[in-house]
Amino acid sequence: MIESMTNLFETAANAEVTTQATQAAAQSAAKSPLQLGLVAIGAGIAAIGVLGTGIGQGYAAGKACEAVGRNPEAESKIRLMLIVGAGIAETAAIYAFVVALLVKFLG
């Protein structure tokens, strides 16, 4: 009988501690609207890098088309340089996108 009462009190005490820990975690996780707004602005600024990369790749593709039009024999070399350049530009876009996601979800 005494053992069952002791177990009952221990269970009740553990439940109260768990409830208090849950409430403390919820209060610390709650963010103010100002903080959420600043995080969204930071993520938007980080995402601007993706816009610049898109414009740059479009410009490079246009110039590659002009170069092929002027010198069709060099098409394979121009294509290779365009693909390498686009790959390098894409890494910058991916980094900017990852930073924007990190700021949004971890900020």
Confidence (pLDDT) at 102: 84
For range 74-94, the mean pLDDT: 88
51: containing domain? 31-106
Confidence (pLDDT) at 69: 92
Claim to verify: residue 82 and residue 54 sit in the same structural domain: yes
Claim to verify: residue 22 and residue 74 sit in the same structural domain: no
Distance set, CA 6 to CA 15, 18, 58, 71 (Å): 14, 18, 73, 90
Claim to verify: residue 43 and residue 12 sit in the same structural domain: no
Confidence (pLDDT) at 57: 87
Claim to verify: residue 16 and residue 58 sit in the same structural domain: no
Claim to verify: residue 45 and residue 83 sit in the same structural domain: yes
- pLDDT bracket for residue 70 (50, 70, 90): very high
Q: How many domains does the chain have?
A: 2
Radius of gyration of the chain (CA): 28
Q: What is the 8-class DSSP label of residue 65?
A: H
Residues in the chain, overall count: 107
